[in-house]
């Protein structure tokens, strides 16, 4: 177990150090996400109340599309630079690659979220600072990244992987997106607490499901 965790940490730090040198993935995500947020802010002349109600949908749409940048590039860079073969030759369980890649992509998404939420709140003069809402962001982005990393590995050998990933990913994400948008709306706008508990259970169950699926099938996916 210790060897496995060390391998996950090594892959995580390797990708973080590479990103620190190039700023290719996170920088692109932040520019894209901020551009989308600013388009939503200035394209529609909405009241403060309507902007507040639209916040969960706008933020999650932005995070989903920004997240595909991270998922596409993190795997593609390993493939293009022939680093993936080296990872496969390492004497550790190959699922360490899955969790290492998922962890670094999750960090990118969290940084993007913690930038765009205050920006949206500032430009719209609304309050989005809620501990529960940030908890939903943490769980929601985790589920998104676990699913996306698995499907990104599945499409890695295809020439059209950059276009195919969103086609594969977004239908699978429908339960997650319903849960995060509804839970975010209830936390920010108020609602039935029993309903909130249901959406949070769905969200947690989704995360656990794809953690288990990744453990079971990732090794077989990358060997093919």
The domain ranges of the chain are 2-223
Distances (CA, A) of 221 to 72, 101, 168, 169, 214: 16, 15, 15, 16, 10
Q: Model confidence over 54-110: pLDDT tens digits? A: 888 899 999 998 988 888 777 766 666 666 656 666 667 778 888 888 999 999 999
Residue showing tokens 């990744």:
214
Q: Model confidence over 168-177: pLDDT tens digits? A: 888 899 999 9
Residue showing tokens 């993936």:
84
- Residue in 35, 97, 101 with CA at minimum distance from that of residue 66: 35
Most confident of 8-22, 67-81, 140-154: 140-154
Pair of tokens at residue 118: 């205050």
- Residue in 174, 173, 114, 103 with CA at minimum distance from that of residue 144: 173
Q: Whole-model pTM? A: 0.89
Whether 121 and 83 have beta carbons less than 8 Å apart is answered as no
Pair of tokens at residue 168: 């594969």
pLDDT at 28: 87
Reported as type and span, the H/E element at residue 79 is helix 48-80
Share of the chain above pLDDT 90, in %: 32
Q: Model confidence over 19-49: pLDDT tens digits? A: 778 777 888 889 999 999 988 888 877 777 7
Please state, as a whole number, how many other Cβ atoms lie within 10 Å of the Cβ of residue 218. Answer: 23
Q: Give CA–CA dist 126/151, Å, rounded.
A: 36
Res. 123 pLDDT band, cuts 50 70 90? confident
Q: What is the mean pLDDT of the chain?
A: 83
Residue 63 has, within 13 A of its CA and on its CB side, a CA count of 35
pLDDT at 176: 94
pLDDT at 155: 72
- Residue in 177, 150, 182 with CA at minimum distance from that of residue 75: 150
């Amino acid at each position: 177990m210790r060897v496995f965790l060390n391998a996950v940490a090594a892959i995580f730090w390797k990708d973080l150090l590479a990103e620190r040198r190039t700023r290719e993935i996170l920088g692109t995500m932040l520019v894209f996400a901020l551009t989308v947020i600013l388009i939503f802010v200035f394209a529609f002349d909405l009241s403060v109340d309507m902007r507040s109600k639209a916040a969960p949908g706008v933020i999650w749409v932005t995070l989903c599309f920004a997240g595909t940048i991270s998922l596409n590039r993190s795997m593609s860079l390993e493939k293009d630079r022939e680093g993936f073969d080296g990872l496969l030759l390492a004497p550790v369980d190959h699922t360490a690659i899955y969790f290492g890649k998922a962890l670094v992509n999750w960090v990118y998404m969290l940084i993007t979220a913690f930038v765009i939420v205050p920006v949206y709140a500032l430009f719209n003069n609304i309050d989005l600072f809620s501990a529960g809402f940030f908890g939903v962001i943490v769980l929601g982005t985790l589920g998104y990244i676990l699913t996306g990393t698995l499907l990104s590995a599945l499409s890695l050998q295809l020439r059209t992987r950059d276009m195919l990933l969103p086609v594969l990913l977004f239908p699978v994400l429908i339960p997650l997106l319903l849960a995060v948008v509804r839970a975010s709306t209830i936390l920010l706008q108020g609602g039935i607490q029993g309903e909130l508990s249901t959406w949070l259970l769905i969200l947690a169950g989704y995360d656990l499901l794809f953690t288990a699926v990744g453990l079971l099938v990732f090794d077989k996916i990358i060997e093919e």
